Amino acid sequence: MIKIKYLTGIHALNLTCKLDTCGDWHSKSINWNHPDIRESNDSVLKDYGIEEDRKVKYLDCSKKYNVANHIRALLDMLLIGNYGYAQGMKEDYICNEKYTDEIFNQVLKLKNENNWYEINNFMKKEYKTK
């Protein structure tokens, strides 16, 4: 598997992606001087949900970036325990039931993480009886 550096977290959530999701809408209030850049091989999710070679108007316009789609950005937030920013995942950021099974399949990959208990509780709050 190829290692990919990619933009994620709240930064990626505030950009459009190829999914039919809402994302966030506060891009101008984000600190773009310190973007959340990660390495794909450092995660159990590997290259899932990473869109390649994208222009990001808030970063160096002469470069192209690999950017997490909205689902991957939210999953990365869960992995680092950033539940506050991820709150509203289902209703505010994903806004589309057609991705629920895909999200749950990816979340299950996180079951061996140290913060699985917190991730599981977060998902129960977001998705209720699902």
Q: Per residue in 45-99, pLDDT tens?
A: 999 999 999 999 999 999 999 999 999 999 999 999 999 999 999 999 999 999 9
Residue 75: CB atoms within 10 A of its CB come to 25
pTM for this one? Answer: 0.95
User: Encoding tokens for residue 39?
Assistant: 């390495």
20-39 burial code (b ≥16 CB/10 A, e <16): ebebbeebeebeeeebbebe
pLDDT digits (tens, 9 = 90+) for 35-60: 999 999 999 999 999 999 999 999 99
Is residue 83 a contact partner of residue 118, using CB atoms and an 8 Å limit? yes
In the chain, the percentage of residues whose pLDDT exceeds 70 is 97
pLDDT band at 1 (very low <50, low <70, confident <90, very high): low
